[in-house]
Amino acid sequence: MPACSAVPLELTAAERHRLKKMANGHKTPHQTPQRATIVLLAARGRSNAQIAAETHLLVETVRRWRGRFAAGQVPALADRRRSGREPAFTALQIAEVKARARQLSTQFGAPLSRWSCPELAREAVTRAITDTISASTVRRWLRDDALKPWQHRSWIFIRDPNFRAIAQRIPDVYARFDGTQLGEDEYVISADEKTSIQARCRSIPPWPRARPVRCASTTPTGAAEPWPPWPPTT
């Protein structure tokens, strides 16, 4: 019975460049550089046995990926879609959970200020969107669309018609102007600009001054000089 001859391969410049990038990729799956290397060696005229010896792979593996590339070029080196189990959630259920995350929790009567993944999972079960769902599944769905309902921005529109006149004094004081321009010997002190920095009376007495570190010197006879008295006497 005659042996099967290897499929000859010819690469274009673009295909060769792309395969070299796949073969030298450090962040790609382990199978991708192997398959690209097989094709590159096959394009150089190597036989399947020679390629298997150089790559430490089985001849059947080399023959399979060589034939796959000959039939479908570079896209054929990717894994084929396998038939797995049916998805646990439908696209409609996922869309309903994401739509719920985009709305405020108060619109649904939930006693929350912001949605969290566990609360969204509990809401989906309560509203009969799904029978059961975990917070990690909700977190994965939201991460796919970069949704973060627990982080939102808000702002307040100015409604007071006299706001400008009332608030104008604050920037004026920072500009050293309080009806008239402040003089060089006049200062503006803000003691309550931040809640954590306030003018308060000291409730804890100050710590005493620490004694400075000093290395004892020795006399010509080898005896250490005594420490000076502390606190120093006048």
pLDDT digits (tens, 9 = 90+) for 61-110: 888 888 888 888 888 888 777 766 777 899 999 999 999 888 888 888 87
pLDDT band for 125, please (50, 70, 90 cuts): very high
Which of 17, 127, 128 is closest to 74 using CA atoms? 17
Give the pLDDT of residue 189. 76
Whether 114 contacts 123, CB under 8 Å: no
Chain centre to alpha carbon of residue 47: 46
| Phi, psi for residue 178 in degrees, rounded to 5 | -135, 75
Amino acid at 7: V
| Phi, psi for residue 63 in degrees, rounded to 5 | -65, -40
Phi/psi zone of residue 128: left (φ > 0), alpha (ψ -120 to 50 degrees), beta?
Answer: left
Give the pLDDT of residue 65. 86
